[in-house]
Amino acid sequence: MAPKQLSSAKELIRRAKVLMVGAGGIGCELLKTLALSGFEDIHIIDMDTIEVSNLNRQFLFRQSHVGQSKAKVARDAVLRFRPNINITPHHDNVKDPHFNVDFFKQFSVVLNGLDNLDARRHVNRLCLAAEVPLVESGTTGFLGQVTVHVKGKTECYECQPKPAPKKYPVCTITSTPSKFIHCIVWAKELLFAKLFGDKTQDNDLNVHSSDTSSSSENLEDVFERKKDEDIEDYGRRIFDHVFGYNIEMALSNEDTWKNRDRPRPIYSKDTLPGKSIKHNGNISKNGSTDDTPSLSAMTSLGMRSPQDVWSLMENSKVFIEALKLFFTRREKDIGSLTFDKDDQLAVEFVTAAANIRASSFGIPLHSLFEAKGMAGNIVHAVATTNAVIAGLIVIEAIKVLQNETENYRMTYCLEYPNRNMLLMPVEPYEPNKSCYVCSKTPLSLEINTHRSKLRDFVEKIVKAKLGMHSPIIMHGSALLYEVGDDLEEDMVANYAANLEKVLYELPSQVSGGTTLTVEDMQQELVCSVNIKHRDEFDEEKEPDGMVLEGWSQPPPEEKKEANHTVSNAGTSISGGPVSKSSEVVEIITVEEELEAAPPKKRKLTTIIDRGAASPGGYSSIPNDTDNRGKVQVVDDDDEEDMVMLDGAPGVFDGDSDTSKKRKLV
């Protein structure tokens, strides 16, 4: 770069106002790199506080910072070595109303280092409305990606469908599990929730156990602890019910097991010693604890390594011990608990319960370390990958500031070299003409308008799949639903009443052929939904009782310089959280997501060999390169950003053992 150009670039960087969303694994590296690259006006948004598990990779944080705001501590840490720059932290949720389009308009570029799909979609829409360029990113292990999204010039973040949460029919979870992940879902979403969560919530566990002479009216919920019942007796009763009696009940349906291996009932008397598992230390009876996260059934039982695969007896001991600790040391929390991957006792209980159930169904047992990864949706992060991705983000941000559209690159970080390359640059794609977000293409919804309520449409479609947080729903000029703090009481009551009405009975009748307009004022997003009436749905394949379409897209046009052309398509709306229903349980795990995603090919434009003078700053890719690795971000409840290779040859080729990684060839 000529001295004059270099000086101009430095000035652009110095004067740029940058918004960083996320101050975690990628965010720490990104803030450091921005500061050392000459950026002097940086805003950071992050709602999280620092946890001990962050410290192995989020290098701006120390033990003394645990519990403090990530955004604020990151700012203070960077100002110690770059004291003359301006860093403004926001310890808030990026979806808060004050982070609106006007707020986004003040920035030169937005840089994402987020850990969930919903927030990514929200930021994408605000950037489109504010016409501010967005640089998106994600990492998992050795894999990573950086993509550039500029309104009207490149595809937006939502132009391509994202992996949907893996959903399992309840009949599989409760009756016929065949994989360990099924046992994890059962232990986490059903058993743990039933024992320690909200008792008023519906649950698909069989809660009744009685002899056939008892009337159904007199059946008791076996999960209710009897007055003055010994805690170990209660634990054994629960054990015998869920692992013994319920299995016997399932075996009574002979048709179910004609083509399946029959499970074996397991009772506590067969796996546990006579009575009372010995404790290392005393258990308090007052229901209090000084250090909840450190409570551990493993510690009480003298078990150490989370890498060990426990025997059936050891799992049974951990199950009873964990239950006893919950009811003696954390009694005040029972009734309001939800599973948390950072709650050691909860992880131990779920691991033990899943393993006992797996043993019953002839499924291989797993260690606590493996079970925690599945239950907590954890992909272990690699700090070096975060650093590489942060550097690539800054490179693309500088290109955006210089308006070097022709040099934008989507770059994928690979685990294994391909043609001696670990970084794979790809030219961005044009906006998808079928995208309802940036191209305003109408969506189509198949739904039973005589059975489905407006609430179903709002929760399962507008919020869960369209990602709108403050929706307005209109039929022509009739306003059917609206949310907002400034609404009159009678309007709030009217909209609440509408939610409970089936679509066909709304004041402005919704039936087949109707077009609804859905708008989110904060995101400044408007889309049209064409309603198609349909009477019946497959409960297993279409558990929501409705099907949203609108992401099917035309075949990609051929580019003359491209040697490898493939489809660039999705089929229907996916991604985003799906509302719980009585027919389906959902969970996201890396292994399951990789296995579930069908290979999709995308056109990789051959980069012309420009040598060291390449404007993109990358080595050339030989014309015979055939690497179709496409990394897609998926949701993750952990701090790490998760990505997945989509159709990369030789990496995940449909084999069921997706945890085995092979070199790209």
At a CB cut-off of 8 Å and minimum separation 6, what does 510 contact? 449, 475, 480, 503, 504, 516, 531
Which two three-digit tokens encode residue 296? 């551990």
Question: Is 371 annotated as contributing to ligand binding?
Answer: no
Question: Is 27 annotated as contributing to ligand binding?
Answer: yes
Rounded distance between C-alpha atoms, residue 396 and residue 390, angstroms: 10
SS3 at position 130? helix
Question: Is 55 annotated as contributing to ligand binding?
Answer: yes
Residue 344: name the closest of 362, 363, 330, 358 by CA: 330
Which two three-digit tokens encode residue 202? 């519906």
Half-sphere exposure of 206 (CA within 13 A, CB side): 18
Question: Is 22 annotated as contributing to ligand binding?
Answer: yes
Is the backbone of residue 152 left (phi > 0), alpha (psi -120 to 50) or beta?
Answer: left
In 541-598, at which residue ranges do the beta strands (DSSP E only) sit? Answer: 546-549, 584-587
Rounded distance between C-alpha atoms, residue 550 and residue 106, angstroms: 33
Question: Is 151 annotated as contributing to ligand binding?
Answer: no
Active site residues: 171
SS3 at position 293? helix
How far does CA 41 lie from the centroid of its chain?
31
Residue 364 CB neighbour total at 10 angstroms: 10
Question: Is 38 annotated as contributing to ligand binding?
Answer: no
In 486-565, at which residue ranges do the beta strands (DSSP E only) sit? Answer: 515-520, 525-533, 546-549
Question: Is 617 annotated as contributing to ligand binding?
Answer: no
In 449-578, at which residue ranges do the beta strands (DSSP E only) sit? Answer: 471-475, 478-482, 515-520, 525-533, 546-549
Question: Is 193 annotated as contributing to ligand binding?
Answer: no
Question: Is 613 annotated as contributing to ligand binding?
Answer: no
Rounded distance between C-alpha atoms, residue 325 and residue 313, angstroms: 18
Question: Is 70 annotated as contributing to ligand binding?
Answer: yes
Asked if residue 366 lies in contact with residue 322, where contact means CB atoms within 8 angstroms, the answer is no
Q: How far apart are the first and last CA of the chain?
A: 35
What is the DSSP code (8-state) at residue 429? Answer: P
Question: Is 527 annotated as contributing to ligand binding?
Answer: no
What is the DSSP code (8-state) at residue 340? Answer: -
Which two three-digit tokens encode residue 626? 């055939």
Question: Is 128 annotated as contributing to ligand binding?
Answer: no
- State the greatest distance between any 2 C-alpha atoms of the chain, in Å, as a whole number: 93
Residue 312: name the closest of 278, 267, 259 by CA: 267
Burial class (CB in 10 A: 0-12, 13-18, 19+), 9: middle
Question: Is 54 annotated as contributing to ligand binding?
Answer: yes
Is the backbone of residue 195 left (phi > 0), alpha (psi -120 to 50) or beta?
Answer: alpha
Question: Is 281 annotated as contributing to ligand binding?
Answer: no
Question: Is 183 annotated as contributing to ligand binding?
Answer: no
Half-sphere exposure of 624 (CA within 13 A, CB side): 2
Question: Is 28 annotated as contributing to ligand binding?
Answer: no
What is the DSSP code (8-state) at residue 406? Answer: G
Question: Is 530 annotated as contributing to ligand binding?
Answer: no
Question: Is 397 annotated as contributing to ligand binding?
Answer: no
Binding residues for Zn(2+): 156, 159, 435, 438
Binding residues for ATP: 22-27, 46, 54-57, 70, 115-120
Binding residues: 22-27, 46, 54-57, 70, 115-120, 156, 159, 435, 438
